[in-house]
Structures are given as C-alpha cells and as structure tokens.
C-alpha cells in the first residue's frame, strides 16, 4: 500500500509542479516572481507538519494521504521545470516558432512541455521514496492509512506495541530486545 500511495502522490505532485513551473517560466515577469515567492513561502514550512495539518482535516484513508503528500511535494518539481523552461525559452527554435506566429500557449504545449518532460519524469521517480516515507510517518502517527491497512507505517506502529515489558522490566517475548 505504501508503494501505491507513494507512486500516486508523486504523480500528483509532479503534475502540479509541472503546471506551476511551466506557467511561471513561460509567462515570466510579475507572474514568475509572484509564483516563485509563493513556492519559497511554502518551502519554508516543513513538509511533514503541513502534511499532518492537511490529513488531520479528513478521516484516515488513502486519498487524504495522497492529497496531503501531493500538495506538499510539488515545490521542487516546480523549480526544476521553471528552470528548464527558462533555458528552453532562449533556444532558436522557440524564437522561430514565435516569429512564425505561434501563440504563447502553442509554444508552451508544442515546444516547452515536451522539453521538460524528462526532468519532470525524473523528479517523479525520485519523489516516490520520499512520498512513501511521508505516508509511513503519517500512518505511524495514526493520521494516515487506517490501522487495518498494511502499510509501512501501520506495520511499524503495530510492531511497536507487540513487545511490552513483562515482569522486572524485561520484554515478555524472547524475540523482543
């Protein structure tokens, strides 16, 4: 379950980050400055704390965790995509498309987005283990997936309670240390 949540959350964050980064890079000017200041503001808040806040508004389940992780992890993808869009905007084939009469959105869809897809895909792949870690942390705290769902966090939480101290302060099971 942790892998599924990690993949879906990473894809969600990648779509959001790609859209925000491409918009900021393509429009430039005050839109770029405003969007990137918002990215900086959200980056100043720890992901896990923001994730706890978002998940606490819902009942434990898969979708609240996916939404929480997706909404807190798009920032790095937005920065990567924006940087690549700014790099691609200075290429001669973009100037040729604009000189040929292509609209701004046509340039974005036909030339810029295909140019940033490899970086966005790599960001998604690298985000999967991080998203799995956040899901596990939220589930361990009891805010993520329901306790009857097998995920890394719920398994660790369940194992934590299985080694209770017996008489004399020793674990009751010989397997507990």
What are the phi and psi torsion angles at 144 (to 5°)?
Answer: -90, -115
pLDDT for position 103:
84
pLDDT at 104: 81
Q: What is the pLDDT of residue 99?
A: 85
CATH of domain 2-158: 1.10.3720.10
Q: Does the structure show a pLDDT above 80 at 161?
A: no
pLDDT tens for residues 51-68?
888 888 888 788 888 999
Give me Rg for the CA atoms of the chain: 22
pLDDT in tens, 98-148: 888 888 888 888 888 899 999 999 999 999 999 988 888 888 888 877 777
Structure tokens at 120: 């966005």
Please report, to the nearest 10 degrees, the dihedral formed by the alpha carbons of residues 142, 49, 30, 102 taken in order.
Answer: -30
The model scores a pTM over 0.85: no
Higher pLDDT, 159 or 162: 159
């Amino acid at each position: 379950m942790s892998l599924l949540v990690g993949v879906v959350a990473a894809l969600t964050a990648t779509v959001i980050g790609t859209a925000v980064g491409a918009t900021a890079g393509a429009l430039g000017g005050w839109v770029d400055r405003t969007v990137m200041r918002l990215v900086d503001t959200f980056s100043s808040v720890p992901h896990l704390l923001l994730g706890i806040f978002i998940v606490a508004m819902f009942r434990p389940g898969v979708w609240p965790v996916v939404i929480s992780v997706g909404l807190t992890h798009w920032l790095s993808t937005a920065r990567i995509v924006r940087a690549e869009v700014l790099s691609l905007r200075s290429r001669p084939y973009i100037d040729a498309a604009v000189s040929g009469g292509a609209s701004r959105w046509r340039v974005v869809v036909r030339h810029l987005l295909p140019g940033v897809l490899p970086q966005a895909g790599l960001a998604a792949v690298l985000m999967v283990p991080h998203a799995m870690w956040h899901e596990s942390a939220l589930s361990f705290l009891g805010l993520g997936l329901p306790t009857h769902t097998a995920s890394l966090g719920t398994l660790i939480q369940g194992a934590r309670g299985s080694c209770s101290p017996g008489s004399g302060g020793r674990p009751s099971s010989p397997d507990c240390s």
